[in-house]
Amino acid sequence: MAFYGTTQAGSVNDFNSKAVWYLYVAHTYDGGAHWITVNATPNDPIQRGGIFLGGGSQIHRNLLDFFGADVDRFGRMTVGYADGCIGPCVQSGDDARGNSYTAYGSIARQTGGRRLFFGADQTGTTVPGAPRLTVSRNGAMSTLTWSQSENGGSSITGYKVFRSAGGPEQLIATLGGDERRLRR
């Protein structure tokens, strides 16, 4: 099951809501007795404020009623959803309001963890997944921010950041596993 969710209590129709919405995916492996729920977009909110389920004059929702979830032949979830918070909206603090108000279709794919079909479960560790990179620039200052990626079953102990200007790549920074931002 996939759904939009927030940890902020309150009305979903409240224009002034402080809710930050994310895509969640929930699995059950025992017929519904127990559920494992995961925030599939932990560093990338899909909406800020209310999601406003009805019409009216305070339109603050940009989710376009597009949502679909499926399972591939290996038992991995794939979710198609509308993302109303892209660009600067994503990097804003949790107390920020407003959205991008763009029509942006997104796809989330399961890359690790247990599968819905037991025979396709991976045994042992795998290569970590690629994080989602966001780059912003303000004059001479560039900021790189990346999401926490699927770790492949082993802790990520560090990141190496390389740069290339058309030639060979050059190492410009080595960061710890809990760091996901570089300013230069």
Identify the domain boundary among 77, 95, 123: 123
100 and 80 co-located in one domain: yes
83 and 13 co-located in one domain: yes
79 and 31 co-located in one domain: yes
Residue 34, pLDDT above cutoff 80: yes
CA distance 92 to 134: 13
24 and 93 co-located in one domain: yes
pTM of the full predicted structure?
0.65
Q: What is the pLDDT of residues 55-70, one digit of tens each?
A: 655 666 656 667 889 9
5 and 95 co-located in one domain: yes
Q: What is the pLDDT of residues 113-156, one digit of tens each?
A: 777 776 666 666 667 767 777 777 888 888 888 777 666 667 78
Encoded amino acid at 122, one letter: Q
66 and 157 co-located in one domain: no
Return the C-alpha torsion angle 180, 125, 26, 87, nearest 10: 20
pLDDT band at 169 (very low <50, low <70, confident <90, very high): very high
Residues of the domain holding 66: 1-123
Identify the domain boundary among 76, 106, 123: 123
Question: In 10 A of CB 106, how many CB atoms?
Answer: 15
